Structure 1
Amino acid sequence: MTALDTAHAARDTGTSRALSGRRTRVLVYAGCALAVLCVLLTVALTTGEMRLPAATALRALIGLGDPGDILVVRQFRAPRAVAALVAGAGLGAAGYVLQRLFRNPLASPDVMGMTGGASFGAVALVATGASQTLIPVGALAGGLLAALLLGAFAWRSGLAVTRLILTGLAVQAGLAAAVNLMVVRFPAELAGSALQWTTGSVYGRTWPEVWGAAGAMVLALAATVLLHRRLAVLDLGDDSAGALGLNTSTARLHLLAAAVVLASLAAALAGPVTFVALAVPHIVRFVTGPPTTASLALASLTGAVLLLASDLVVQHLLPVSGLPVGAVTATLGAPWLLVLMFRQSKPVHRSAA
């Protein structure tokens, strides 16, 4: 065997070990996240003003046991927990797609105007005195409106990344100003309801709302999985992607539409919850390394865990009752955003050759 053959064999061995190590990290992370999710669900079903043993709560969940236990678990605790899971999964996937699509660690539905659109749609319905059951529909419509504005303003640039992000910030700021104006002009009895919703909350969710959002979320996630391979091609750069026959502008538009639908569905169920979509891709990347085919699923799983954990903190660990879950995620998000901005602006020191 020549020295060149030996070098190639060593390189192949190193590559194989790296891939094996990455698969192991992915599997361990997925297993730990699922275990944490099961623990959180158990806590969500058993903890509250009326504490229940885990076995009793699980029996009540399937309709067995004391009628009072069944009412508490099935009508109050379970819908809220499932709503947090569904919304968190959508936010995690949306953040993952946006950050990888724009190659920007600050990209999220908050930056791209989607949460501002959801708030605008929901508050506009509150202003008309519409039924509370229609508010999620207004949030979804508002998120789609923000996406249309984003696409209309940025289309001339060929959907360039920098123009899209700047346009998203402008759309977010404009819609937030419109929401504030409506809230200021509301009657006092409507202003409180509007403000609580715009912070983000899964309180009071019902099974029809949850199942409707969950069904739509499954379809949106399935469409995103089908589009996922285009992300890998776009990672090669526009020139290389175009040489492989991919229309980069169309691919970005499709992926952006998928992220908009995911974020809007999450906002329709839980309101404009911040921080989750921003943080999840960083957590997944930190633990498992560069993106793999499993990264999208891990992002959804991590988002579900993070939002459910935040909601349990709101319910059981804070001294102030009645806070929406968005208050916790926003409190965590502010320092996280500052750290990310500091890391982005930190100069790179190169050693002399």
Structure 2
Amino acid sequence: MKRHTTWRTRFFSVQMDMRAIRRMGLLVLAVLAACLLGPSLGNTMLSPVTVVETMMGSGSGANEFIVNNSRVPRTLVALLTGGALGVSGLLLQGVVRNPLAAPDIVGVTGGASVAAVAFMTFGAGAVSIQWIPLAAISGALLVSTLIYALAWKKGVSPIRLILIGIGISAIMSAAVTFMIIVSSAVTATDAYVWLTGSIYGASWSDIFTIAPVIALGLPLAVVFSSSLNAQQLGDDTSAGLGVRIQVDRIVVVFLSVVLAGTAVAVAGAIGFIGLIAPHIARALIGRSYGALVPASACTGAILLFAADLIARTIFYPVDVPAGVFTAAIGAPFFLYLLFRNRNHF
């Protein structure tokens, strides 16, 4: 009986065993189920049939507002944002070859946070709030460029990249705290909610912001999966295999930053999804990056969807930011990873 199957194209090759394929299928089904469960569950319970009918335009007026204007956008934003963060974390962990790497740990999210909070503090009233996503993405790109430049020394080594990223992340955190202190009470409250991370108020415009990035980013991540697989063997070995190490690292880091920056711009500084999702994906699928990209996207999507579902239903009428629950899971998981890898640092 054939235990493995391989997909090869001109740009990448993916090998998965049959058990991993079945698990990948279950992850995809879980994401599809979330697309129906999200609009169905809430203070007003709706059946999946009613949800589908309403989305097709044959539901009642009240249901149409609940489904099409509130729950469907919120569900899709949670899934897309979680997927983007999951893949972003996977790419960073592959580049730095460190299981503790994640966008919120190495400074990417910090750059987006500084730019967004600065926009709220100094641009409130002068510039439309709709420009916050652009500010957050720009901040993530600028800070990531700074981290990469500081880590460069005849190339970029993974250990320098993550150490400088952690240092820059601490500086960004201090800058955010300072701006919150000097801002008004209203601005500070808005900034705290954004920094915690919340899907509340998600709209179709948010979907149109992040969906194209996901649609382009995931295939590109799969294309560079062969390079990431080779880089896990070390720089000398991967160079011997013909990998353009520094060029590929720049592209992969840039791709990770764009995915994380867009996700943060839409949903705020949600933490730990980029750390947790790749580890769960590896446990289910294996270590081939070609298969890990879609698996991490699905895992991250499910994690953030579950966190947001709990946030808006368990404590109703209070809408708790989803970032509270991702942090409650992520912080202990981070400590567990530190303990498990204590002999490697």
Normalised by the length of structure 2, the TM-score is 0.91
| 1:222 pairs with 2:216 | no
User: Which of the numbers 136, 143, 148 marks the counterpart of 1:146?
Assistant: 143
Post-superposition, which runs of at least 4 consecutive aligned residues in structure 1 deviate over 6 A?
A: 18-21
Query: Which region of structure 1 is more displaced relative to structure 2, 222-231 or 264-273?
Result: 222-231
1:335 aligns with: 332
Structure 1 unaligned segments of length 5 or more: list them: 1-12, 348-353
Q: Relative to structure 2, which stretch is displaced further, 237-246 or 190-199?
A: 237-246
Q: Does 1:61 align with 2:58?
A: no
From 58, 76, 101, the counterpart of 1:107: 101
1:95 aligns with 2:89: yes
What's 2:255 paired with?
258
Alpha carbons 1:84, 1:308 under 8 Å: kept: yes
Contact kept in structure 1, 2:222 and 2:290, CA below 8 Å: no
Partner of 2:160: 163
Q: How does 1:250-329 map to 2 (within 5 A)?
A: 250-318=247-315, 321-329=318-326
Cα RMSD, aligned residues only: 2.0
Partner of 1:350: none
1:125 aligns with 2:119: yes
- Taking the aligned partners of 2:5 and 2:98, their CA distance within structure 1 comes to 25
Q: Percent identity?
A: 35
| Kept after mapping to 2: 8 A contact 1:221/1:262 | no
- 1:47 maps to what in 2? 41
Separation in structure 2 between the aligned mates of residue 81 and residue 94 of structure 1, nearest angstrom: 20
**Pairs aligned (count):** 333
Q: Which amino acid counterpart does residue 263 of structure 1 have in structure 2? A: A
The amino acid of 1:90's aligned partner reads A
What displacement does 1:316 show?
Answer: 1.3
Tell me if structure 2 keeps the 8 A contact 1:117–1:175: yes
Computing the radius of gyration from Cα coordinates, the structure with the larger value is: 1
The answer to whether the Cα contact below 8 Å between 1:217 and 1:265 also exists between their aligned partners in 2 is no
d(CA) in 1 for partners of 2:252 and 2:232?
13
Q: 1:162 to 1:346 in 2, by over 3 A?
A: closer
Verify the 8 A CA contact 1:139 1:271 in the aligned structure 2. Answer: no
TM-fit CA distance, 1:321: 1.7
The 10-residue stretch of structure 1 (292-301 or 304-313) with the greater mean CA deviation from structure 2: 292-301
How many angstroms apart in 1 are the aligned matches of 2:283 and 2:234? 23
Which of 204, 214, 228 is the matching residue for 1:231?
228
- Report SS of the residue matched to 1:156: coil
TM-score using structure 1 length: 0.89
Distance 2:268 2:222 in 1: 24
Q: Distance in 1 between matches of 2:160 and 2:268?
A: 27
Q: For residues 319 and 340 of structure 1, do their structure 2 counterparts lie closer, same or farther at Cα, with a shift above 3 Å needed?
A: farther
Structure 1: distance between partners of 2:90 and 2:329:
18
Give the CA deviation at 1:22.
Answer: 5.1
Q: Which amino acid aligns with 1:248?
A: I
Distance 2:120 2:289 in 1: 42
Q: Secondary structure at the match of 1:99?
A: helix
For 1:4, the equivalent position in structure 2 comes to: none
